[in-house]
Amino acid sequence: MSFTEADVQNALKNLIDPNTKKDFVSGKSIKNVKVSGSDVTLDVSLGYPAKSVWAEIKAAIEAHLKSALPGAGKIEATVSSKVVPHAVQRGVKLVDGVKNIIAVASGKGGVGKSTTAVNLALALAAEGARVGMLDADIYGPSQPTMLGISGQPDSEDGKTMLPMTNHGLQAMSVGFLVDATDTPMIWRGPMVTQALEQLLHQTKWDNLDYLVMDLPPGTGDIQLTLAQKVPVTGAVIVTTPQDIALLDARKGLKMFEKVGIKIVGIVENMSTHICSQCGHEEHIFGAGGGEKMCADYNTEFLGGLPLDIRIREQADSGNPTVVADPDGNIARVYKQIARRIAVKVADMAQDHSAAFPKIVVQNT
């Protein structure tokens, strides 16, 4: 029985992408379908990084078409990912070399925001994306320690800085420019915001799919500068189940909404504690708070992470969990959350500013 390219497309309308929960056709992932006799070739271009599941998606598509197309011969699907820029606040230009900026924020300190940010960045990189980390916590830069990076950035032209690199990430932090171990950052608000802008715009980011920004806690100068001058694709809120942390997380969420930055979702850190001696699991900071907050504000619960001594030890050593134990259960959770963030970003409106021609008016 013969079939056409349209038959192939129709067959794939019945196959759901397990990550986006949409079929591959409506998700616009199917490209270059070719039918030669009874053989079929096609490309599958995912809008999110998913290197770890390419083989799984390839097998699912090939098996589905083999079943749906009677008499089909050889079926060859080539799976890849392509991340594109997405829309940001109106009137704010994208940063050179950066497609998407994901801000990781918390309403209060001590909830594990920086540890979560670096592990999510590493998880996106592990899935094949080009990822950068901007340590925007000017008063308490911790990313140099967590990434195991020392020294100062180089400059090729005396005006811009090359990002520092480790674990496959490009990174920039005020901690690279001052002795963060014993030098307090006694700066007023305008100095802090100027420093953030310089770190962002004077770093030569090299073709990043995502730049993860580790923000300071709260809703102060840095966050307001972010809203006005930094092109943020979306914000991720980190909280613990504790009532007082959730109160502050709600304030942070509402602030981003008011300034026109989309909320990607909420990560609940320290959801449970598992005793390293007996394995007993306990909700020492409460249970279900993050999910209830998501329900109240109609946003997505991205996932919960345990309170585990290894997460702290690995981050302190400069080898965060995703690289220290890439196949472990905790790294798996970080990767699931990171993939969900990437899928949510891929579903946002795209930025088409680069597609419009520049109009120049000249006197003749």
CATH number of the domain at 75, please. Answer: 3.30.300.130
Domain total for the chain?
2
Residue 352 inside a domain? The answer is no
- Answer for the pair 301, 291: CB distance below 8 angstroms, yes or no: yes
Question: 89 lies in a domain?
Answer: no
290 and 162 fall within a common domain: yes
Residues 219 and 176 in one domain: yes
Q: Which residue has the tokens 């994306």?
A: 129
Looking at the structure, tell me whether residues 15 and 50 fall in a common domain: yes
Handedness of CA 351, 130, 339, 249 (dihedral sign): negative
What residue ranges of the chain have pLDDT lower than 50? 356-357, 359
Q: Are residues 128 and 235 in the same domain?
A: yes
Residues 144 and 76 in one domain: no
Provide the CATH number for the domain around residue 250: 3.40.50.300
Residue 359 lies in a domain: no
Dmax over Cα atoms in the chain, in whole Å?
83
3 state SS of 270: coil
222 belongs to a structural domain: yes
Question: Is 287 a member of any domain?
Answer: yes
> What is the pLDDT at residue 29?
93
**Do 155 and 75 have their domain in common?**
no
Q: Is residue 360 part of a domain?
A: no
Residues 249 and 138 in one domain: yes
Both 74 and 115 in one domain: the answer is no
**pLDDT tens-digit map of 241-272:** 766 667 777 777 878 887 788 989 999 888 77
Mapping DSSP to helix (H, G, I), strand (E, B) and coil, where does residue 308 land?
Answer: coil
- pLDDT for 278 equals 75
Nearest to 310 by CA among 298, 292, 296, 324: 324
Over the stretch 49-85, which tens digit does the pLDDT of each residue have? 999 899 999 999 999 999 999 888 999 999 999 999 9
CA distances from 221 to 138, 189, 244 (A): 11, 6, 22
Q: Which domain holds residue 133?
A: 98-346
Same domain, 173 and 73: no
For residues 191 and 54, membership in a common domain is answered with no
Half-sphere exposure (Cβ direction) of 195: Cα atoms closer than 13 Å: 24
In a shared domain, residues 195 and 298: yes
Is residue 356 in some structural domain?
Answer: no
Whether 299 maps to a domain, the answer reads yes
22, 49, 81: which is the final residue of a domain?
A: 81
Give the pLDDT score at 188. 61
Residues 328 and 191 in one domain: yes
pTM, 2 dp: 0.88
